[in-house]
Amino acid sequence: MDRFRMLFQNFQSSSESVTNGICLLLAAVTVKMYSSLDFNCPCLEHYNALYGLGLLLTPPLALFLCGLLVNRQSVLMVEEWRRPAGHRRKDLGIIRYMCSSVLQRALAAPLVWILLALLDGKCLVCAFSNSVDPEKFLDFANMTPSQVQLFLAKVPCKEDELVKTSPARKAVSRYLRCLSQAIGWSITLLVIVVAFLARCLRPCFNQTVFLQRRYWSNYMDLEQKLFDETCCEHARDFAHRCVLHFFASMQSELRALGLHRDPAGEILESQEPPEPPEEPGSESGKAHLRAISSREQVNHLLSTWYSSKPPLDLAASPRLWEPGLNHRAPIAAPGTKLGHQLDV
């Protein structure tokens, strides 16, 4: 169990690995969904195209939106694009790199669905059976235009009595299926060629820009994760100190009412309420977290993080952020009485 937990944490720490795994999972689910799909063309003149094209395009759209939702970088990209500049300038090249990465992963599952549907051919046969030129087939010479349209609408339904034994239905169905497979294989070849050229020609261009954009894209993801983890750590410590403060204040009230008893059962006289105990082994690295000890300070910290992120210069950051939150609310040192007067 510990090994599995360590493996999961290692996998979770890499956002790119998580995203690639989810994209592969969506692609596998797409194949399973299409293989289990019960395709039933309505075989009606005005509804065949709607059903066929809807089944060809609607699931890929849903899968594309799912790919955007599960990709963490899509949210980071929009936040980076919309955030105020503050002390950190925005780089449109990084945003374009993140957008390209997000779109490539989100398009994987929809492309798999479209290729499967085209190679299978049922969607195209259902959607365009009414659009076939009857003059290409000799069997329609003795039919009226209305009979031809009715016959073509029934082509996808091979069990229908009207077209069950007709060789024209097989000819039309074979023609549309071959056209669909030709389009599917053409798109497959195009995607493979584009991916091959992109992989082979990328070393021919300047790698510095690519490495820089990839680095800062990963940095934004890790920075947001660390900020969320630090906020959770501070919220846990903040809640713990609030609960201790509540119990300490209730203890003083019980003493004032004469309801507090010692372990021997005797009523203790009213005394000054003791300070809530601090957590043992608190490190100096947590001092900056424990200094944020009021609701106003926390709200100001969160709004400052959104509106004016710190500059990407560790040497300049202390000078810019030295005033901290002093102008909004006092920061109490840990262990002082002011530090225990929490406002929640």
Its pTM stands at: 0.72
Does residue 251 form part of some domain? no
Would the pLDDT of 17 be above 80? no
CB 129 within 8 A of CB 48: yes
pLDDT digits (tens, 9 = 90+) for 238-261: 898 888 888 888 877 777 776 655
- What is the count of structural domains for the chain? 1
* 26 belongs to a structural domain: yes
The pLDDT tens digits for 126-175 are 999 998 888 888 777 778 888 888 888 998 988 887 788 888 888 999 99
Full domain range(s) for residue 172: 1-204
Q: CA-CA distance, 295 to 297, in Å (whole number)? A: 5
* Any domain includes 209: no
Percent of the chain with pLDDT over 90: 23
Q: Identify which of 189, 21, 182, 183 has the alpha carbon closest to the alpha carbon of residue 108.
A: 21
**Would you say residue 124 lies in a domain?**
yes
Residue 96 forms part of a structural domain: yes
Look at the chain and count its residues.
Answer: 344
Contact present, 64 and 110 (Cβ < 8 Å): yes
**Per the domain annotation, does 328 fall within a domain?**
no
The answer to whether 331 and 293 are in contact (CB under 8 A) is yes
Task: Name residue, tokens 């374009």.
Answer: 96
